[in-house]
Amino acid sequence: MREFNYDRLGEQVWDGEVLSLVAQIHECKGRQEMFLAQKPAVLEKLVEIAKVQSTEASNKIEGIVTTSTRVRQLCEEKTTPRNRDEEEIIGYRDVLATIHESYEYIPITSNYILQLHQMLYRYSGRSIGGRFKNVQNYISETRPDGTTFTRFTPLEPYETPRAVETLCATFNKAIDDGRVDPLLLIPIFINDFLCIHPFNDGNGRMGRLLTTLLLYRSGYVVGRYVSLEAKIERNKGAYYDVLQVASQNWHEGQNDPLPFVKYILGTVLAAYRDFEDRVALVGEKLPSIELVRRAVQRKIGKFAKSEIMELCPSISIASVENALRKLVKEGALTRHGTGRTTFYTRND
């Protein structure tokens, strides 16, 4: 069976890009703590918005969808699920809420991971929740012509329980030793977890939930205020690409997790930068048009409506769209393309 040895990471020489990403995230974390102390009321406005965005995006990556309005109502517990997709969405909602509220008291062990997985499927009526896989699973990919092929074969079911226990023990020991920055250990753990693929279903969502949990436990709580899952969903092609590269020769212990490490670090850093922008904007009591105008001034080059919505989470989609139309009419912006290809550029 594949063995896990994180001790060797203490001697690894990391390249300049990784070291720069880690250093920048450390700086952002310091500024975040200042914001937490100075603007708690402002930040609370971001928490509920991020929960909805995370729940919608992480499920959407797996093809589990409903309307944005329904997601918000489900997250706010103002309605009940209508179908299996919505049952799994509220399961994700509950796991994420548990992590937000109790991350300090959720140790990284096989038993707790199983409990979180059980919670994910609490409402679905499916018996797979809280159980390791009992059939071999495969990570497949669809070619442009519509045919599929197996990209990666995870561990077999009989190997899975021991592998997860060993992985957790190895990670906890490395965290306790303190020789390797948690920002490097976390994506390596997640990559190994996804290569084990321990469940019949829900592996991707559990991987993203565990990413949030591990970051929180190490003091990087930016995911409370800016959805990491939404950033991954917007760039999911690259997400799958780096996972594919990082899984090559994994069974032999010869894989290179560095591409996935860089992807996760880049996502976390982008979230921190958005966090600072959002705090500045949400703290201002301004009309929607002025909030969007200020958000636009923070963009360089071309940008999409979704990017402005991320910077202005306190206003509705309709308000953002209306504000963008007004700015185009004023001549402050130029709109390019139509439909999903639409983007904007500043005219100053």
Q: Evaluate if pTM is beyond 0.85.
A: yes
Cβ proximity of 286 and 37 under 8 Å: no
- Poorest-confidence range of 251-260, 282-291, 302-311? 282-291
When computed from its CA atoms, the radius of gyration of the chain, rounded to whole angstroms, is 21
**How big is the CA angle at 295 (ends 311 and 323), to the nearest 5 degrees?**
100
pLDDT above 70 covers a percentage of the chain that reads 99
Cβ proximity of 327 and 311 under 8 Å: no
The tokens of 43 are what? Answer: 């930040």
pLDDT band at 294 (very low <50, low <70, confident <90, very high): very high
pLDDT of residue 283: 67
State the average pLDDT for the chain: 93
18-281, what's its fold?
A: Fic-like fold (1.10.3290)
pLDDT of residue 44: 79
Domain covering 285-346: architecture: Orthogonal Bundle (1.10)
Domain boundaries, the chain: 18-281, 285-346
Cβ proximity of 266 and 211 under 8 Å: no
Pick 45 or 167 by higher pLDDT.
167
The tokens of 267 are what? Answer: 């996502």
